[in-house]
């Protein structure tokens, strides 16, 4: 499982020119699953670690402008968007291969579970994109701050 998170002042996701999710200050998280991720992943130690890291990573400023506050501390919003391309392999040729990405049926189950678990713990509004759809993201990255979390490194 990989999460590419961005600290944002606002973000939205649209499908077919219709906004399906939007947030104010918080985190936009692109969430992808790899071929080795199975339906048992939510029961593994990596799952709560990834969720905890996403919600508690101190990437928001305190009164002295240091990275000392988390999404939970800020009571910030969360936008979760499925993103299989986080598993792109670009070693050969010029066209990325996605053979290391999770099969769509399993990825959908995992993404839906991650959304449900995030909603149960998130401090404020949680929005999502539409799994498998061509989505258009509009965001204002604050910082910029962009961080990659990988369950294999937890």
Catalytic annotation present for 83: yes
- Which one is catalytic: 36, 85, 100, 140? 85
Paired residues of 101 in beta bridges: 34
- Which one is catalytic: 6, 25, 33, 83? 83
- How many H-runs (helices) and E-runs (strands) does the chain carry? 3, 8
- Which one is catalytic: 84, 111, 114, 128? 84
Catalytic annotation present for 22: no
Catalytic annotation present for 98: no
Q: How far apart are CA 17 and CA 74, in angstroms?
A: 31
Q: Are 145 and 74 in contact (CB under 8 A)?
A: no
State the sign of the Cα–Cα–Cα–Cα dihedral 105, 21, 151, 114.
negative
Catalytic residues: 83-85
């Amino acid at each position: 499982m990989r999460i590419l998170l961005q600290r944002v002042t606002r973000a939205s996701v649209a499908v077919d020119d219709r906004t399906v999710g939007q947030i104010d200050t918080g985190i936009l998280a692109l969430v992808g699953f790899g071929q080795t991720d199975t339906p048992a992943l939510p029961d593994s130690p990596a799952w709560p670690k990834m969720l905890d890291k996403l919600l508690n990573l101190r990437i928001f400023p305190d009164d002295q402008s240091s990275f000392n506050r988390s999404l939970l501390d800020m009571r910030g919003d969360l936008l979760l968007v499925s993103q299989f391309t986080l598993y792109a392999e670009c070693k050969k040729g010029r066209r990325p291969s996605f053979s290391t990405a999770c099969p769509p049926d399993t990825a959908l189950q995992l993404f839906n579970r991650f959304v449900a678990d995030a909603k149960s713990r998130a401090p404020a509004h949680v929005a999502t994109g539409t799994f498998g759809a061509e989505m258009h993201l509009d965001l204002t990255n604050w910082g910029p701050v962009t961080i990659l979390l990988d369950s294999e490194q937890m």
